[in-house]
């Protein structure tokens, strides 16, 4: 079982063999699923595919001009209807699509219109590029699904339908962790968990700043998320440091009560009533399991708060992402009253847009 690998490679677990056996003997509901090998492979992002296709410069330019013109025709209509992208955003995305699809994107710049027969090597054939851009504009398919990846911090994480595209706001979670481990060796070398890991972005971001002995367990209920997260973990060659487990919230962590140094999560937090009015890219394409946080959006957050009190060791750190000020306040209030004395240093931290986004604290 996966935990055994994790345990063997970490001194943290060397004394916990007995504990292990007890975990193994426990009947698992969700965890047992992860033991059976799963056949579906995550899709390879465009930029990682081999450049086995080709097109002449003039054909590619024809496609580019077509793509530009339909992007231009969007103007601010998406923005006006649901705060979607405008033409400017789409033009930038088009450049990135070219960057990912061409073996040598520079050649578009350096070759001029007189070399129309010049042949470029592509990672998708021209028909597919037409289709992809059509999906982007007409179906509002998120750009990140179109190219199969999201640039997040200094990482490029693979994503596909069924997995939430990690958000720029969430990048800050890693900075929050960085701030606490700078002063605390104990946390730096400890066991961290990322609950509802999705693409695995937070887990990967964190493990790269932890010390040599630091480990992360990343969990998700979604089968696709577990697949994609594992793909990303392997791509960054972190399989010895991150264990990806399928299961509902704390389920895959039983046995680790009171042993966790840090706990982070960006759980679904959108109130159910808001889901139908979401931006098309989100509402029509991203998994509802990753978004819907129940009637007030707080169902999972509250569950996580309670679990954090149980899982974290004394001095352990947690950080949760929320929907904004109301949820932040509610959580802090909840922790101060219901978990009276369990946590200290409770803080609300804004994102770069000035929205109160994160709640952090220390287990007493």
Partner 1 sequence: MSSNILRRAYKLSSSILYRYQPISTFFVSRSDPQFSTSSGKPQNQKNEYGVSSISNKRLNFSFGSSLNNTRLLFSTQAAVEPSTSDGLTVDGIVANQWTILDENESDWKSHASAIAQSIGLIKKRLQWKKLKVRLEMLSYQLEKPDLWDDPVHAGRISREHGSLMGKMKEVNGLEQGLLEHIDMIKLAREEDDTDLEAESVKALLRMRQSLKEKELEALLAGEHDSCSCYIEVQAGAGGTESMDWAGMVMQMYKMWAQRRGYGVTVVDEMRGEIAGIKRATIKVDGEYAYGYAKAEVGAHRLVRISPFDSAKRRHTSFAAVAVTPILGDGSHHVQINESDLRIERYRSGGAGGQHANVTDSAVRITHIPTGITASCQNERSQHQNKASAMAVLQSRLDQREMVRQAQMNAQYTQSLTDNSWGNQIRSYVLHPYRMVKDLRTNFEVSDPDSVLEGEIDDFILSFLTESMDKENDEV
Ligand X SMILES: C[S@@+](CC[C@H](N)C(=O)[O-])C[C@H]1O[C@@H](n2cnc3c(N)ncnc32)[C@H](O)[C@@H]1O
Question: Which residues lie near partner 1 (CB under 8 A)?
Answer: 83, 85, 88-89, 92-93, 96, 142-144, 150-155, 164-165, 167-171, 266, 268-270, 274, 278-279, 281-282, 286, 290-291, 321-324, 351-355, 357
Is residue 248 involved in binding ligand X (CB under 6 A)?
yes
In the list 124, 174, 225, 298, the residue contacting ligand X (rule: CB under 6 A) is 225
Closest CA to 218 of 49, 6, 4: 6
Closest CA to 231 of 7, 43, 35, 33: 43
142 or 268: whose CB is closer to ligand X?
A: 268
Do 268 and 196 touch, CB atoms closer than 8 A? yes
Q: Which stretch binds ligand X (CB under 6 A): 94-102, 261-269, 324-332, 340-348?
A: 261-269
Q: Go through 189-208 and write b for each residue having 16 or more CB atoms within 10 A of its CB, e for each that does not.
A: bbbbbbbbbbbbbbbbbbbb
**Phi (first) and psi of residue 200, to 5 degrees:** 90, 5
**Residue 354 in tokens:** 């000035």
Is residue 122 involved in binding ligand X (CB under 6 A)?
no
Is residue 79 involved in binding ligand X (CB under 6 A)?
no
Is residue 120 involved in binding ligand X (CB under 6 A)?
no
1 or 349: whose CB is closer to partner 1?
A: 349
Going by their DSSP bridges, the two strands 149-152 and 119-122 should be labelled as: unpaired
Do 266 and 257 touch, CB atoms closer than 8 A? no
CB of 236 to ligand X, least distance (A): 15
Binding at 286: pick from partner 1, ligand X, none (beta carbon under 5-8 Å per type): partner 1
Sheet with 191-195: list strands edge to edge.
242-246, 215-220, 191-195, 260-265, 312-321, 356-363, 343-350
10 or 170: whose CB is closer to partner 1?
A: 170
CB of 168 to partner 1, least distance (A): 4
CB of 188 to ligand X, least distance (A): 21
Distance between CA atoms of 274 and 263, rounded to whole angstroms?
27
Q: Which stretch binds ligand X (CB under 6 A): 39-47, 162-170, 176-184, 276-284?
A: 162-170
Is residue 230 involved in binding ligand X (CB under 6 A)?
no
Closest CA to 360 of 294, 296, 290, 312: 312
Is residue 67 involved in binding ligand X (CB under 6 A)?
no
Binding at 220: pick from ligand X, partner 1, none (beta carbon under 5-8 Å per type): ligand X
């Amino acid at each position: 079982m996966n935990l055994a690998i994790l345990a063997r490679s970490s001194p943290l677990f060397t004394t916990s063999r007995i504990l292990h056996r007890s975990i193994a003997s426990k009947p698992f509901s969700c965890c047992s699923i992860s033991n059976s090998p799963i056949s579906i492979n995550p899709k390879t992002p465009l930029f990682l595919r081999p450049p086995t296709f080709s097109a002449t410069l003039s054909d590619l330019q024809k496609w580019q001009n077509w793509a530009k013109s339909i992007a231009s025709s969007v103007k601010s209509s998406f923005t006006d209807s649901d705060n979607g992208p405008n033409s400017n955003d789409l033009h930038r995305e088009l450049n990135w699509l070219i960057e990912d699809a061409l073996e040598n994107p520079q050649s578009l710049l350096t070759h001029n219109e007189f070399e129309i027969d010049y042949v470029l090597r592509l990672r998708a054939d021209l028909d597919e590029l037409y289709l992809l851009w059509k999906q982007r504009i007409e179906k509002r398919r998120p750009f990140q699904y179109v190219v199969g990846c999201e640039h997040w911090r200094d990482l490029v994480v693979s994503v596909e339908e069924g997995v939430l595209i990690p958000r720029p706001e969430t990048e800050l979670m890693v900075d929050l962790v960085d701030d606490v481990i700078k002063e605390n060796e104990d946390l730096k070398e400890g066991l961290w968990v990322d609950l509802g890991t999705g693409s695995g972005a937070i887990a990967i971001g964190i493990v790269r700043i932890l010390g040599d002995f630091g480990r992360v367990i990343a969990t998700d209920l979604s089968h696709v998320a577990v697949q994609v997260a594992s793909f990303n973990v392997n791509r960054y060659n972190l399989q010895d440091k991150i264990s990806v487990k399928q299961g509902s919230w704390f389920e895959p962590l039983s046995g680790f009560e009171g042993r966790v140094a840090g706990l982070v999560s960006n759980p679904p937090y959108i109130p159910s009533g808001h889901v139908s009015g979401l931006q098309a890219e989100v509402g029509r394409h991203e998994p509802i399991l990753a978004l819907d946080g129940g009637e007030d959006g707080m169902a999972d957050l509250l569950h996580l708060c309670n679990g954090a009190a149980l899982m974290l060791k004394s001095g352990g750190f947690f950080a949760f992402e929320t929907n904004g000020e109301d949820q932040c306040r509610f959580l802090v209030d909840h922790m101060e009253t219901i978990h009276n004395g369990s946590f200290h240093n409770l803080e609300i931290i804004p994102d770069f847009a000035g929205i109160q986004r994160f709640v952090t604290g220390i287990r007493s």
